């Protein structure tokens, strides 16, 4: 489904990804952890081509997104992305946020898209909020709209970049619950998150990244409980002490 082959990424002279190899199969839920600055966001952003890789290849359904001949806008539709800062479109209502891409990008019928958009908002628990502008929604609600917006494009994979870390603690659960349901529904997901409980519950594999490389990889339960790598141990020690 997604395959990263020896992916390197430089920002100027600093190498942020130093040869990432990762294969994500259909239905997998990958949990990515690692210290700040280790390159987790950069890796996700490369998968969605918000950053160009410097060297290496990324395949989505066997198509190389680093090949300029491939239509990046078509490939991006297969990959949904949810950001830490929501990035909802403030001039559009919740429903319009969810329907704008199906209508404008996929050229789908407006009525159908709106019906689907309502269903999608219902799926993330936001029935009744269709006509609210983002500024009138709580952080947790905004993030759920953002998830619905990405889902409306019917992506094959969803990327989540610390989607709960900008939220007040009491709003984290409602977003994680939506993600859990998504995982249980069989969605392929790559989640950068430090919510260990969530990772243990729905993750099929956990990855520890540090200094631009994947240091350790295991089932979430195993990686969190018995880290083998010294750096993983140190990192988890710090996270758990919080």
Contact residues toward Mg ion (CB under 5 A) are 41
Antiparallel, parallel or unpaired: β 205-210 and 213-218: antiparallel
87 binds another protein (CB under 8 A): yes
Among 2, 32, 65, 79, the residue binding another protein under the rule CB under 8 A is 79
> Locate tokens 């966001």: which residue?
41
Residue 231 Ramachandran class (φ > 0 left, ψ -120 to 50 alpha, else beta) = alpha
Between CA 190 and CA 58 the distance in angstroms is 15
Query: What is the token pair recorded at 227?
Result: 């880290």
The binder of 242, among another protein, ligand ATP, Mg ion, none, by C-beta within 5 to 8 A per type, is none
* Among 97-105, 170-178, 199-207, 221-229, the segment contacting another protein (CB under 8 A): 97-105
- Residue 117's binding partner out of ligand ATP, another protein, Mg ion, none, with CB under 5 to 8 Å set by partner kind: none
Among 38, 48, 188, 232, binds another protein (CB under 8 A): 48
Residue nearer to Mg ion on the CB measure, 41 or 141? 41
Please report how close the Cβ of residue 61 comes to ligand ATP at its closest, in angstroms. Answer: 25
* Strand extents, DSSP E, the chain: 2-11, 14-24, 29-33, 55-60, 63-64, 79-82, 157-161, 188-192, 205-210, 213-218
**Minimum CB distance to ligand ATP smaller for 41 or for 143:** 41
Binding mask 145-184 for another protein (x = CB under 8 A): -x--xx--x-------------------------------
**Contact positions toward ligand ATP, by CB under 6 A?**
11, 16, 34, 36-42
Say how far apart CA 62 and CA 35 lie, in whole Å: 31
Which of ligand ATP, Mg ion, another protein, none does residue 106 bind to, with CB < 5 to 8 Å depending on kind?
Answer: another protein
**Cβ-based neighbours of 83, under 8 Å, separated by 6 or more:** 146, 161, 163
CB of 92 to another protein, least distance (A): 8
Comparing CA positions, the residue from 189, 202, 209, 203 lying closest to residue 79 is 189
34 binds, among Mg ion, ligand ATP, another protein, none (CB under 5 to 8 A by kind): ligand ATP
Which of 10, 23, 25, 50 touches another protein by CB under 8 A? 50
3 state DSSP class of 156: coil
Q: Which two tokens stand for residue 83?
A: 């950001």
Stretch that binds another protein, among 6-14, 53-61, 71-79, 232-240 (CB under 8 A): 71-79
Q: What share of the chain is helix, strand, coil (3-state, %, to 5)?
A: 40, 25, 35
**What sign does the CA torsion over 99, 41, 56, 2 have?**
negative
Q: Which residues bind another protein (CB under 8 A)?
A: 48, 50, 73-74, 76-77, 79-81, 83, 85, 87-91, 100-101, 104-106, 146, 149-150, 153
């Amino acid at each position: 489904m997604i395959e990263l082959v020896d992916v390197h990424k430089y920002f100027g002279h600093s190498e942020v990804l130093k040869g990432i190899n990762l294969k994500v199969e259909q239905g997998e839920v990958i949990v990515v952890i690692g210290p700040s600055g280790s390159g987790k966001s950069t890796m996700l952003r490369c998968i969605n081509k918000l950053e160009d890789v410097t060297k290496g290849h990324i395949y989505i359904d066997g198509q190389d997104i680093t090949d300029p001949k491939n239509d990046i806008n078509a490939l991006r539709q297969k990959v949904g992305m949810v950001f830490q800062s929501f990035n909802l479109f403030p001039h559009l209502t919740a429903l319009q946020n969810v329907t704008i891409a199906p209508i404008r990008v996929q050229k789908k019928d407006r009525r159908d898209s709106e019906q689907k958009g309502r269903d999608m908002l219902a799926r993330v628990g936001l029935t009744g909020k269709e006509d609210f502008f983002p500024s009138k929604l709580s952080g947790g609600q905004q993030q759920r709209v953002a998830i619905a917006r990405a889902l409306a494009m019917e992506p094959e994979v969803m990327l989540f970049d610390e989607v709960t870390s900008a939220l007040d603690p009491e709003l984290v659960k409602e977003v994680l619950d939506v993600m859990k349901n998504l995982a249980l529904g069989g969605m392929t997901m790559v989640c950068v998150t430090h919510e260990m409980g969530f990772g243990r519950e729905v993750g099929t594999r956990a990855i520890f990244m540090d200094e631009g490389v994947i240091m350790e990889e295991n089932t979430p339960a195993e990686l969190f409980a018995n880290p083998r790598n010294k750096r993983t141990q140190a990192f988890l020690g710090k996270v758990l002490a919080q």
